[in-house]
Amino acid sequence: MPDYHLFVCTGPTCRQEGAEETLHRLQEALQCQPLAAVRVTLCRCLGQCGLGPNMVVYPGGTWYGRLHVEEIDQVIASHLMAGRPVASLIQPPPPPNKTVREPL
């Protein structure tokens, strides 16, 4: 079982905001860090369109928004390695029962 499970939005809106570049940096950085177990799952849409690129980190359900390449190292060092979420990048989760309307 992983220590952290990261869900990264790769839907059309997040892609337009740089999600692919952010994801590539995340994958590269995780290969270089001494983290025991981190799983990254790509998601079509996390329901936070317009606030992306988005990522949710479990355990804890910490939502990160407008997460770009230059912030990935900070999230890894602070949240994944030291257990301290990066407050300046956290966004509130979507409201309960929100219907995702991202086009397929």
Summarised one tens digit per residue, pLDDT across range 18-59 is: 999 999 999 999 998 777 789 999 999 998 988 999 999 999
Is residue 9 one of the residues assigned to a domain?
no
Count the domains in the chain. 1
Nearest partner of 23 among 45, 61, 54, judged by Cα: 54
Mean pLDDT across the chain, nearest whole number?
90
Give the C-alpha separation, 97 to 79, whole Å: 27
Mean pLDDT of 1-30: 93
Is residue 28 one of the residues assigned to a domain?
yes
pLDDT digit string (tens) for 42-101?
Answer: 999 998 988 999 999 999 999 999 999 999 999 999 999 999 999 999 999 888 766 655
Q: Where in the sequence is the domain holding 58, given as residue range(s)?
A: 22-89
Q: Which stretches of the chain are DSSP H helices?
A: 12-16, 19-32, 69-75
Element (H, E) at 62: strand 62-64
Contacts with 48 (C-beta within 8 Å, 6 or more apart), sequence order? 9, 54, 63, 65, 91, 94
Is residue 15 one of the residues assigned to a domain?
no
Is residue 55 one of the residues assigned to a domain?
yes
Is residue 35 one of the residues assigned to a domain?
yes
Is residue 65 one of the residues assigned to a domain?
yes
Is residue 17 one of the residues assigned to a domain?
no
Q: Which amino acid is at 98?
A: K
Report the CATH number at residue 35: 3.40.30.10
Q: Is the dihedral of CA 8, 13, 15, 19 positive or negative?
A: negative
Is residue 71 one of the residues assigned to a domain?
yes
pLDDT given for residue 94 in this prediction: 84
